[in-house]
Amino acid sequence: MNNFEYCNPVRVVFGKNTIAKLADLIDPARTILLLYGGGSIKKNGVYEQVQAALKGRKVIEFAGIEPNPRYETCMKAVELARKEKVDFLLSVGGGSVLDGTKFIAGAIPFTGGDPWQILTSGGGALQSALPIGAVLTLPATGSEMNCFSVISRDSTQEKLAFGNPKVYPAFSILDPEITYSLPQNQLRNGIVDAFVHVMEQYATYSINTPLQDRQAEAVVRTLIDVAPDVLSKKDYDSRANFMWAATHALNGIISCGVVEDWSTHMIGHELTAFFGVAHAESLAIVLPGMWQHQFANKKDKLAQLARRIWHVVDGNVDTQARAAIEKTAAFFHSVNMPTRLSDYNISKTDIEKVIERFRQRGTTLGEHQAIRADQIREILTLCL
């Protein structure tokens, strides 16, 4: 096991009718900026629940934070927050609204130029941040219990991530009932996003971390088991188990002391930045190709995954690992998630844009830092 530090101060408030607890969770003296997305919270009753809990408080609203939240939009919220002297940010929405809120929280007090530096520095340039609370409406990104954020910038077609402990939400309210109104494609995306988060922290090479391996498998097994019910009915337990599993997929517990590889995310981000595919869609495209290409590095853990999750007993490590790749793709297909670039009409020529960007940045990816632009071409070719 590698040395590690773990400290996650988020207060998770989980269960039915928990939005009303906002009244106790936010100091009445605060001026709140309520941030949300495209307005679905006004159709499913969440907006009314939030307003009821915050009755009598000073609340300013900012709507319109989009999926893959845009720097340009966030900076409008920053301007509003500064003007209104806001001192608490409440995100009501999915991971995108919360990621946007995290960036806004750091950008409001940012001095010394363009807050985009928070992104280009990976979070190192963040100086301080306003306190954040969250009401989560979509289980997927794990943003509700971590200090990470991903922001896109139109003008440069960039999608960058940052992390900083200062943007941990003070609290996150998770009410599984408010997921009932989610459309099928968002549920599907959430399941796949959480699945791939686990795999980025698991499918590398083993350094003898049996507890973390089994904790990761616990999340994946839960996602696979609940997926059919999540997609076919409005059942409390399925939604609750999905929601808590998605949180655990990226709250830092399963990555303690292990070897991680976020290559699939890094390449997926570029597919979103250039071609507009949803985040989870990009991951479902890249992951199987990544595993094929990196087979030698990852096969031991993939074989373990096949044995423990899909009860593959026959064959050797190689055949078991191949079974894990096939069964992962089959799982994605079972939730109606495409796994090919061609499903989105992205061609061999198109991917050169992605490769060129990695070449320019000089990025190296992978648990052995051995994936460069040329390897990314080979990987994406396997994903066509």
Residues that bind its own copies (CB under 8 A): 1-16, 18, 171, 208-212, 214-215, 217-219, 221-222, 225-226, 237, 240-241, 244-245, 248, 253, 256-257
Distances, alpha carbon 221 to alpha carbons 25, 93, 226, in Å? 33, 26, 9
Contact 298, 204 (CB under 8 A): yes
Least separation in angstroms between CB 242 and its own copies: 9
Residue owning tokens 């309210």: 173
Least separation in angstroms between CB 225 and its own copies: 6
Exposure of 16 in the CB half-sphere (CA atoms within 13 A): 3
Question: Which residue, 71 or 171, is less far from its own copies as judged by CB?
Answer: 171
Contact 204, 367 (CB under 8 A): yes
Do β-strands 58-62 and 31-35 pair in parallel, antiparallel, or remain unpaired? parallel
Number of CB atoms found within 10 A of residue 127's CB:
13
Question: Which residue, 93 or 252, is less far from its own copies as judged by CB?
Answer: 252
Nearest C-alpha neighbor of 125 from the set 69, 75, 157, 163: 163
- The size of the chain, in residues, is 384
Least separation in angstroms between CB 1 and its own copies: 4
Between CA 317 and CA 312 the distance in angstroms is 10
Q: Which residues pair with 34 in a beta bridge?
A: 61, 90
Question: Which residue, 1 or 52, is less far from its own copies as judged by CB?
Answer: 1
Least separation in angstroms between CB 238 and its own copies: 9
- The SS3 assignment for 161 reads strand
Question: Which residue, 301 or 322, is less far from its own copies as judged by CB?
Answer: 301
Question: Which residue, 73 or 215, is less far from its own copies as judged by CB?
Answer: 215
Q: In 65-198, where do the E strands start and end?
A: 88-93, 132-136, 148-153, 158-163, 171-174
Question: Which residue, 13 or 65, is less far from its own copies as judged by CB?
Answer: 13
Least separation in angstroms between CB 15 and its own copies: 3
Least separation in angstroms between CB 74 and its own copies: 27
Question: Which residue, 214 or 348, is less far from its own copies as judged by CB?
Answer: 214
Question: Which residue, 9 or 122, is less far from its own copies as judged by CB?
Answer: 9
Least separation in angstroms between CB 240 and its own copies: 4
Question: Which residue, 211 or 370, is less far from its own copies as judged by CB?
Answer: 211
Least separation in angstroms between CB 155 and its own copies: 39
Contact 36, 65 (CB under 8 A): yes
Number of CB atoms found within 10 A of residue 164's CB:
22
Least separation in angstroms between CB 212 and its own copies: 8
Distances, alpha carbon 349 to alpha carbons 25, 191, 244, 276, 352, in Å? 51, 30, 40, 16, 6
Least separation in angstroms between CB 107 and its own copies: 26
Nearest C-alpha neighbor of 278 from the set 165, 368, 191: 191
Question: Which residue, 236 or 374, is less far from its own copies as judged by CB?
Answer: 236
What is the largest distance, in Å, between two alpha-carbon atoms of the chain?
A: 65
Sheet containing 31-35: order of strands: 58-62, 31-35, 88-93, 132-136, 171-174
Contact 151, 70 (CB under 8 A): yes
Do β-strands 148-153 and 132-136 pair in parallel, antiparallel, or remain unpaired? unpaired
